Amino acid sequence: MKLFTLKERLGLKNFEIARILENIAFYLEMFGETKFRIRAFQNAAKIIESLPEDIADVYRRGEVSTIPGIGAAIAEIIGELVETGTAKIYQEFREKYPVNIEELSAVEGLGPKRIKLLYEKLKIKNLEELEKAAREHRIRRVKTLGVKTEKNLLKAVEFAKKSKDRLLLAYADEIAGDLVEKLGSLSFVERITVAGSYRRRKETVGDLDILVVSKRPEAVMDYFTSLENVGIVLGKGPAKSSVLLKDGLQVDVRVFDEEIYGSALLYFTGSKEHNVKLRIVAMEKGLKLSEYGVFRDDKRIAGRTEEECYRALGLSYIEPELREDMGEVEAARKNSLPQLVEYSDIKGDFHVHSNWSDGMNTILDLAEAAREKNYQYLCISDHVGALKVAGAMDEESLRKQMEEIDKLNGRLDDFRILKGAEVNITAEGNLDLSVGLIKELDVVLAGIHSGFRASKEAITKRVIKAMESGLMHILVHPTGRIINRRAPCEIDLGAIMDTAKELGIALEINAFPDRLDLRDVQIKSAVDKGVSLVLGTDSHSCNHLNYMRFGVDQARRGWCTKRGLINTLSLSELEKRFDI
């Protein structure tokens, strides 16, 4: 018996529609379309992805084609996607070339032309078949490819394989938010929390574990397993149900009694290593810990809340972000856990691109969006120099931009737009901007944007040379990694951190969801060394400013306190510190 008729449907999210548009662009590229038509689709994907509201809502108002960058043709495709979940043009492409684009294009060195070539010559459709062909030395025999290419592809496959199963936290956040809203709105759901690595705010998640308190578990499960975006129901019972969503993400829902919700949360939040450590602590005290509570003999002495469980074990409360067995249990025993930075401590963003380079919004738009977040300052850091692909400005437009910022600052009360720039560190370790101009900037961000495959010694030397120029304040995306796409470059972070500390240079925690660079353990080591850190969203639109949350999550995972993070300085403190 079905208990509900689902009125509210979980349609495609913006990022999913954006992904399909990107895939269409990819197919167009395979078939040698003009780069302008391709770019139109890519551009549309980018716009949808950073749209502040659901594209489905825009569609229902009939306003999709009024969005700048989206014309009649793409608006129609978006309409199809909203209505049916797919589009004719996309289906036709997929029938003609049934290749797993997302899987194959995630392999470094594989683009549209080679994917087409490999399908036509070797019928390679996915990662597995690619790996097999490479191991059997069939790729080197394809004309235009060779031994070296085959070897590089094999190496890239290894990396792609490791990362293909985990979803970026930012995407998981949207899906989880939706599920929590739907399930949480049921009258008989008393409490709901997403546990697991999601709750620990890990940069990627493998699945979602949702914990619910309800007196009507069957009704919860009926509703959950019949949601529109459920693909396969893997299992369904009153205590636990498990599904695969249509996009492949596994979601488990478990229902518990209120009395043991805390211990269940503790158990299912993990990490496994943290839990093992806790059970050892329990044993030492003659207690037993499980998802059903903390027990002395057979009597439950804690379980309703996590705080109660930790207290029973003689520990202070440990924030989920710290539960990785990196010393947090020992610190909790000594009551010496760090007071982690909070999102509300953040007073500004340092890494923001405007439409002066490759960003989508004006400086004023961005400043207003930042003020709405109660920020006191915003550093505009557009690309400059030779990085022409990223719409880098020449020195003349940088000068003009600085004048524009002066003008805007004259109009803004209690808020300051900082004059920054994202300067490229050249292969020789120089900053790609004239010294005179660099000195006029309030904040100089610098980082490497090419040559990631050079040796560890070379890259480290190059970056340290740039740092020693005395001209830069912040080293951006220090390892250059892109989650699920590009491995971090080889760089001696220990040496970089020592130099940063000595010269008072801050290391960025890039908060863009697929960068999160530095990563958690690296942040912790910077915190231990007393190196200054700074959060930058790498925003390319107003909406991206929201990525600050993920940066704060990451900082917290790295044991970062308010004191260690430059973004927590007030405007006046910041002006003093940067002497601006």
Binding residues for DNA, rule: CB under 7 A, are: 34, 36-37, 39-41, 44, 67-75, 105, 107-115, 140, 143-150, 152, 358, 386, 388-391, 427, 449-451, 453, 482, 485-486
> What secondary structure does DSSP assign to 113-170, as a single string?
HHHHHHHHHH---SHHHHHHHHHTT-GGGSTT--HHHHHHHHHHHHHHHHHTT-EEHH
Closest contact distance (angstroms) between CB of 236 and DNA is 41
When the beta carbons of 388 and 529 are compared against DNA, the nearer one is: 388
Tokens 């059903």, located at residue: 292
When the beta carbons of 87 and 405 are compared against DNA, the nearer one is: 87
d(CA 280, CA 164): 34
DSSP alpha helix (H) spans, 337-455: 363-372, 395-411, 435-440
d(CA 488, CA 64): 38
When the beta carbons of 145 and 331 are compared against DNA, the nearer one is: 145
Closest contact distance (angstroms) between CB of 380 and DNA is 18
Closest contact distance (angstroms) between CB of 464 and DNA is 19
CB within 8 Å of 561: residues ≥ 6 apart: 338, 339, 340, 341, 527
When the beta carbons of 303 and 385 are compared against DNA, the nearer one is: 385
Closest contact distance (angstroms) between CB of 71 and DNA is 3
Q: Please state, in angstroms and as integers, the Cα–Cα distance from residue 205 to each residue in 163, 198, 237, following that order.
A: 11, 6, 24
DSSP alpha helix (H) spans, 313-434: 328-333, 363-372, 395-411
299-302 and 348-352: which strand pairing? unpaired
The three-point CA angle 52-445-373 to 5° equals: 30
End-to-end CA distance of the chain: 69
d(CA 580, CA 566): 15
Closest contact distance (angstroms) between CB of 399 and DNA is 20
When the beta carbons of 1 and 72 are compared against DNA, the nearer one is: 72
Closest contact distance (angstroms) between CB of 472 and DNA is 18
When the beta carbons of 156 and 405 are compared against DNA, the nearer one is: 156
d(CA 470, CA 504): 10
Closest contact distance (angstroms) between CB of 546 and DNA is 23
Burial class (CB in 10 A: 0-12, 13-18, 19+), 467: buried
Closest contact distance (angstroms) between CB of 440 and DNA is 25
Query: Please, what is the angle between helix 35-49 and helix 14-30, to 10°?
Result: 170
When the beta carbons of 116 and 279 are compared against DNA, the nearer one is: 116
d(CA 180, CA 186): 10
When the beta carbons of 145 and 244 are compared against DNA, the nearer one is: 145
When the beta carbons of 44 and 220 are compared against DNA, the nearer one is: 44
Closest contact distance (angstroms) between CB of 43 and DNA is 7
Closest contact distance (angstroms) between CB of 174 and DNA is 24
d(CA 213, CA 13): 27
Q: Phi then psi for 283, rounded to 5 degrees? A: -60, -40
When the beta carbons of 386 and 402 are compared against DNA, the nearer one is: 386
Closest contact distance (angstroms) between CB of 239 and DNA is 45
CA-based nearest residue to 310, from 289, 336, 327, 286: 289
Would you state the structure tokens that stand for residue 479, as one six-digit string? 């390892």
CA-based nearest residue to 224, from 206, 240, 213: 240
When the beta carbons of 55 and 264 are compared against DNA, the nearer one is: 55
